[in-house]
Amino acid sequence: MSIITVIGRGHSGTRAIAHTLYASGVFMGHTLNRSGDKVPPHALYDACRVMAKYVVWKGGLEWDFDDLHSGKIDPEFEDLIGEYLRDVAADRSEHKGWKLPETTLIYPWIVRMFPDIHYIHWIRDPRDSIIGAHKTDDLADFGIEYERTDDVRRRRAISWKYQYELMKATPKPKKWMLVRFEDFVLKQEEVLRELEAFLGFGLGRIVVRLESIGRWKTDQEQHMFDFFRDAMDENGYGEMP
């Protein structure tokens, strides 16, 4: 039996891998929305707010995540995750898992609770990721402190930055694979073969849309922020304005 979760910010293209897993016979929860998210999400949202109490905002674009890696996991958090994943835990399918973008907000404690499952870390060019609105745009909705702004695009960019830094600060689990959304679209067969080797079973194929890449090039609002640069370089998004 294998258990799989997808770690990636909202609008990073995670629905592509969620639909792929579902099409491959992976049990992803009793109820899914159009994006392949396991719903209802409320228990996991509450778990995000519990974990946020253990994150220290240092001002600007810096947060201290140390307590998440060394301190005790809050029992309320464990109860809420158990509630959210009750159907996945009870299911007897050979392969099962879940996808909900907000899982990224609690990645450090999820890794500690489930050290042996498969983690697919999904990333997309941040310039495309922040074009559309998402539930996690305002980190304060999940109890996370940050430098407030009325600039909607900057707010989304800060959320992207926070989630990227949180993932980067978390020790990699034993079974971890990074996938760029752009590679999945442009080189689907190659990426799927790598995923099949990682997961240990065959995967279905879904339709992908080339126009989902590089949308920022025709976007008329701000989509580039200086604090994206290091992450973009680290992940091969070298085309800079």
Give the residue-averaged pLDDT of 143-154.
Answer: 97
DSSP lists the bridge partners of residue 119 as: 5, 176
203 phi/psi in degrees, rounded to 5? -120, 145
pLDDT value for 239: 61
Token reading at 41: 């999400």
Give the CA distances from residue 101 to residues 9, 18, 37, 44, 122, in Å, rounded to whole numbers and listed in that order: 5, 11, 8, 10, 10
Q: What is the pLDDT of residues 209-222, one digit of tens each?
A: 999 999 999 999 99
Alpha-carbon gap, residue 224 to 140, rounded angstroms: 22
* Residue spans per domain, the chain: 2-234
Q: Which CATH superfamily is domain 2-234 in?
A: P-loop containing nucleotide triphosphate hydrolases (3.40.50.300)
Q: What is the pLDDT of residues 25-53, one digit of tens each?
A: 999 999 999 999 999 999 999 999 999 99
Read off the pLDDT band of 238 (50, 70, 90).
Answer: confident
Q: Which of 40, 38, 45 is nearest to 21 (CA)?
A: 38
pLDDT value for 240: 41
Q: Where are the alpha helices (DSSP H) in 3-74?
A: 14-23, 42-52, 66-70
Whole-prediction pTM value?
A: 0.96
**Do residues 105 and 47 lie in contact, with contact meaning Cβ atoms separated by under 8 Å?**
no
Q: What is the pLDDT of residues 66-87, one digit of tens each?
A: 999 999 999 999 999 999 999 9
Residue 145: pLDDT over 70: yes
Is 173 or 1 the better-scoring residue by pLDDT? 173
Alpha-carbon gap, residue 139 to 135, rounded angstroms: 9
pLDDT value for 154: 98
